[in-house]
Amino acid sequence: MSGALEILSKQAQKIIFLGLGLIALGLIVLVYPQQSGMTVVFVVGLLLLIGGLLRLAFAWLSVSWGDTFLRFLLGLLAVLAGGYMIAQPAAGLQALTIVVIIYLIADGISEIVFALRVPPATGGTLILLSGALTLLLGALLWLGWPWTGEKAIGLMIGLKLLLDGAALVGIGVTARRGLKAIGTSGAEHQ
């Protein structure tokens, strides 16, 4: 096997390792979905708080009083929202879940509308299926709210990590098999 193939083979192993790491993280998040959701809320709250403080600090650099006032209000709103999410993570988790529910329902509807314009042979059926499942997920979360709010964010993150990890493992295994096949066929031609 040439030097380039050996390097690619090593990368395939790293991709598989990364995928297995994501699968492990996904499983941990799935076992502790509420705590994972609370962690997400804390991080989002912290980012809002820091962003709001920076907006407040730079609001005074605006050229007009109207711009200064608007930037100050937006900075204050971000500070209050971030502080509230940090102080009340359970309420922040509920609010974040509502935002995700609205997003899923809107995204599902838009995918369905788009799919109706795309011929089935060019992927319209898969887009329609994706839209329907997205809409169904949003509706199920809405019907189960507020109980779904406690664990929904953590479960979604856990599933996403799990699926991304499985995809990376699949890519790594395929790359490794492909490289072995190339190495074998290259040896036959020499």
Name the token pair of 106: 């809107």
Question: What CA–CA distance (Å, rounded) separates 64 from 180?
Answer: 66
pLDDT value of residue 95:
86
Q: Are 168 and 19 in contact (CB under 8 A)?
A: yes
Distance CA 139, CA 97 (A): 12
Work out the end-to-end distance of the chain between its first and last CA atoms, rounded to an integer number of angstroms: 11
Cα–Cα distance, 94 to 138 (Å, whole number): 14
**pTM for the full predicted model:** 0.65
Predicted local confidence at residue 171, as pLDDT: 76
- pLDDT tens by residue, 155-173: 888 888 888 888 888 878 8
Q: Which residues in the chain come in under a pLDDT of 50?
A: 1
Residue 2: predicted pLDDT: 56
Amino acid at 160: K
At residue 77, the pLDDT reads 94
CA distance 50 to 20: 34
What SS3 state is found at 9?
Answer: helix
